[in-house]
Homo-oligomer: A and B are copies of this chain.
Amino acid sequence: MADVAGLLAEIVGDSNVLGGAQIREDFSHDEALGLTPVMPVAVVFPRSTADVARIVAAANEHHFALTARGSGTGLSGAAIPARDGVVVSFERMNRIIEVDTANHVAVVQPGVTLEELDRATEEHGLVYPVFPGESSASLGGNVATNAGGMRAVKYGVTRHQVLGLEAVLGTGEVIRSGGKFVKATAGYDLTQIITGSEGTLALVTEATLKLHPRLPYAATLLAPFATLPEVTRAVPAIVASGLSPLMVEYIDLMTMASLISVANLELAIPPTIKDTAQAYLVVVLEDRIDDRLEDDIVVLAEMLTGRGALDVFVLPDYAGSALIEAREQAFWIAKSSGAEDIVDVVVPRAQIPAYLDEVSALAATTGSWVAGCGHAGDGNVHLSVFQADPDKRSRLIHGIMAAGTRFGGAVSGEHGIGVSKKEYLAAVEDPAKIALWRRIKVAFDPNGILNPGTIFDLEETTRR
C-alpha cells in the first residue's frame, strides 16, 4: 500500500490532508443509525476542481477508493469510507460563486451549506426552496442524495432545482452539464443522473441551482384528527385544491407527544381535543399577498373541518415556526428516544392510509414499536423503528420495504440508500435494473473508485 496521505499531500499540500492519528473520528461515519464506522486512511480537502481531478487521477493510478463528504449529516451511511479508502471532504470548497438575480440561479461550490445559501439569497428576495431539515447540510451532499424535506410538495426536491453541474468523473475527466436554463434536449441528461447517485458516478465540484421568489406571508394550520387514517385520507383533496400548500405533514400521536415535550411546544390545544386526537395534520400556506393568504386560510380550514378535523388552529407565527422547527428535528428526537433505525419509504400519497395500516400490522406481528410522521403531501413516510433484536428488526424492515414497493412506492424518498438500505433495496429491486446500474457505474467510473459498495455492490453477490 502506497503512502496515500503522502501522495495526496503532493497534490493539495500538507495543510489540506489528514492521515493516521490526525483523522478525527467524525470522518468515519455520517448520522445514519446502527452502522459500523470505518476510519479512512486519509482525509483530503480539495480547494479547486483541478485538485479534485488530480485526486481522482491518483486514486485510479494507485487504486484507492474515494468517498465524497459534505457536512456529514446524511442518514444512510453514504459518507462512510470504503476500507483503506480516502474521504474527500468538500468543506474547503465552500464559495457561493454567484447569486444571479436576472436568471434566478445560484452557482455554488459543494461545501456551501443550506444556511449560507439561505442567507445569501434572502437579501435578493429569492429562496432556494429545499429545506431537508438540517441547515448545516452542504449543497454537495444535497445533490448527492437528492435531498427533499417538507417543502417538496410545492417546490419539488433537489433534482428539480439542479439546473447544471460541474463534476469530475471516475476517469478524472472534468465535465459540465446543463446551465442557467430550465430546459434542454441536447444529449443525455448527465445532471439528472448524477443527482441522487450518492457520490458513486462523479464528484460534484459546482452546482447551478434554481432560485424562486421568496414569498413574504405564511401561515401554519394545525388540525387534530380522531384517527391517523382520517388525516392521511384528507391529504389528496388538499393537494388537489389549487391552494398550492408549502407543506402538508402528518404527525402521529407518539411523535407529536415527543415533539411537544422535547421542544417545549406550546400549541394551546384544549385538553378535550388533546385527549381525543390520535394524529395531526400540519399545513403551511404561503403567498405574496397578505389578503390572499387570509382568504386561503378560511378555505383550507373549512376543507379540513369538512374532512373530519376535530378543530383547526391557525398558529401564531412563533408557535408555527416552533412546530416546524421541532418537526425538522424529528430525526434527533427519534434518535434520543432510542429508535434503532429509521425508514423513509415513499408511496403514492393516496396509498398512505392503507400502507400505514400494513406497517402497524407488521409492527404488531414482530412485537415492535413503529412511530412516525411524514411528508403526507408527497407520500413520503418517516418511521422510527423501535426493536432491539436485530433479526426481528431486519425482518420488520424487510416487510416495511416490501409493502412499500407493493403499494407502488420506493425504498427511500429522500435519505438515499447508502450502505444502510442496500440490502433492503437488493431484496425488492429488479435484478435487471441493478445490472443496468452497474453498467452505468462502469461508464462513469471504470475502475470503481467512487464510493464503491454504496447503493449496490459492484459485483453481483452469490446471494442473488
Contact = CB atoms under 8 A, between A and B. Distances in A.
B193 A188 contact: yes
A415 B186 CA distance: 9
A8 to B, nearest CB: 24
A181 B379 contact: yes
A427 to B, nearest CB: 12
A271 interface: no
Interface string A123-161: 000000000000000000000011010001000110110
A463 interface: no
A36 interface: no
A240 interface: yes
Contact of A432 (B173, B180, B213): B173
Grouping DSSP codes into helix (H, G, I), strand (E, B) and loop, the A interface class, with mixed when no group exceeds half, is: loop
A378 interface: yes
A231 B349 CA distance: 42
A347 to B, nearest CB: 7
Contacts of A101: 236, 240
Interface string A37-72: 000000000000000000000000000000000000
Contacts of A284: none
Interface stretch (A25-33, A89-97, A252-260, A440-448): A440-448
Nearest to A292: B292
Contacts of A442: 439, 443
A444 B101 CA distance: 39
8 contacts: A103-B350, A152-B182, A156-B182, A175-B433, A178-B410, A186-B411, A188-B455, A215-B242
